[in-house]
Structure 1
């Protein structure tokens, strides 16, 4: 199992620190948060992109995602193409996006058909570059596996050869009433990456230090048995400053997953 982490867990940290964290914790993949206050953003020059890619590759790491805040279903224009170009330049597998639809219009795509936002998503995917993947995370309006699976099924039907895959944030689908096995069975045709974190269902699924919550990690490991999806720690320190730093979270992650379960 390839182990990764998201730089959301070390907001504003320089590349040197990220590489040291990876080297010291047997990490082989990165999710790079793309934002103006990070070392990864769409304003990088061609030379800066080459240097960033070279340094990460020289460290033996793979860029799994450029983590954008693009919303596929949003009404306003979205900088999808700029992020896809950045991901291609960095050699990343794809660009993380959210659905960002109006939750009141979502019916899982089964009863009344796609929402207006999902139709916008179809249009955006149709016209997008296919050099790298669009990686739709189970998040916000489409936090449940059934919602993302319905949208991906619609894409399969209406946009043949599309480049959308799924980042399965396993804590999000669990917090929306699905067992991990149910979510996996729904999303499995499109999964590219699995995100993990601990959360406390007694505190409205608030992210907590690893081992302090009740996320069913053993159930996840059983569900993923026999697969080779990268597993990434989405440590949301940027948004939840009560969490311990990655320097503590990454060793705890190894223990949580079990020695020998990762490489």
Structure 2
């Protein structure tokens, strides 16, 4: 009987490993395919001749992208928006989440409702645009950082983390040592909150890095536009150019457009994906700790 149970356990473990391996393959292979497709001849990709390695290596897609002078400027813009916007987002959302977690905060119940409502109801694009324009942020570097820095979802996650992970006894001990609220938050709470800082920082960075719609609405100055918007414009222009031509030239333009499409995916996602291995430990811990209490 014991041997039979052991056999069932072994079979179950094998099934789990096989399913896990298939799930990993389903996630990794599309990413790998995009990478190898960016270095492959589009005709080989279209004919299904590219599976695990480029059949013919080519750098035409990358060369065509990097020949665009605005690419480097937009890349710098995106890095600046992401770095400054992430720091500003943490500066705004983390203290707000901590304040809402304090039981002695006056009007705490109504403030929680105040932050929840915008998660379901938006003022709309036109009122937001008029508000942004009234404060002079249209065609301004800071329009990608300040107006959309407050995230009710991130504030609620931070609030839940502080409620479930920072015991009240620490605040009582800090008071006995003569520590005030700001000193307690800076010296005790923040060092114990690396997990939620990493999680919210990563979410904020990914959101800003992939942002293009706000730039499309609020930034007409090409020198201020981020990478995602510039890539979108280049790809649309190439597709329109290929659609307006015929014959061999149309086929060549379509192939170039496909190569640039794959290359743009790689250069726009690789930097932000490189952050995940360094933050994975804090990311998993922060999500679990932040979900203990509602």
Specify the TM-score bucket, using the shorter chain as the normaliser. Answer: under 0.3
More strand by share: 1
Instruction: Pick 1 or 2: higher relative contact order, CA cutoff 8 A, min separation 6.
Output: 2
More helix by share: 2
Question: Bigger radius of gyration, 1 or 2?
Answer: 2
TM-score w.r.t. the length of structure 2 is 0.20
